[in-house]
Amino acid sequence: MLDKEFVVRKVKLIQEELSKLEALKGFSFDEVARDGVKMAAVERYLEKVVMRAIDINQHVISELGKGNEPLKGYEDTFYALAKIGVYDEAFAKEIAPSAGLRNRLVHEYNSTKEEIVYDSVTDALKDYSKYCDFVLKFIEKN
């Protein structure tokens, strides 16, 4: 059974992190790149947003999925939610690549450039605000 309290709590946490990212978005790339604390904060907030969404995705899939969803990685969890009806396939294509950013941040791949991280804030704010709306509307219906 879908644990609505779990999902709502995770959505609220995502929204809190998005607020923090919104505040950091006010700084220029140079200001963030020169300040290790600001850059670390941006990276960590992005990571937490994506991981919380993946937690939601995995819960929804385990409770409402058919058991045959092809999940090779975290990115696939976003596509599975489209198949379950949380949002459409077009949105899944927009948001799913954020799982790759999460992997680069967590595993500290050398190819992760500060500019990519900084530029990801705008996408995260847009995509994860929509994601939260989609998820909340979906659980209201189910």
**Domains, the chain, with CATH or none:** 4-141 (1.20.120.580)
pLDDT higher than 80, residue 77:
yes
pLDDT higher than 60, residue 109:
no
First CA to last CA distance, the chain: 10
Mean pLDDT of all residues in 22-36: 92
Mean pLDDT of all residues in 30-40: 92
Cβ-based neighbours of 80, under 8 Å, separated by 6 or more = 57, 61, 65, 69, 71
Q: Which of 135, 131, 139, 130 is nearest to 3 (CA)?
A: 139
pTM: 0.90
Determine the pLDDT at residue 141.
Answer: 92
Q: Which of 57-71, 107-121, 122-136 has the lowest mean pLDDT?
A: 107-121
Per cent of the chain over pLDDT 70 is 92
* CA angle, residues 43, 46, 51, in degrees to nearest 5: 120
Taking only the tens place, the pLDDT of each residue in 40-54 is: 999 899 999 999 999
Q: What are the tokens at 19?
A: 């607020």
pLDDT higher than 90, residue 125:
yes
Sign of the Cα pseudo-torsion (124, 125, 130, 135, in order): positive
User: 73 φ, ψ to 5°?
Assistant: -165, 180
Per cent of the chain over pLDDT 90 is 70
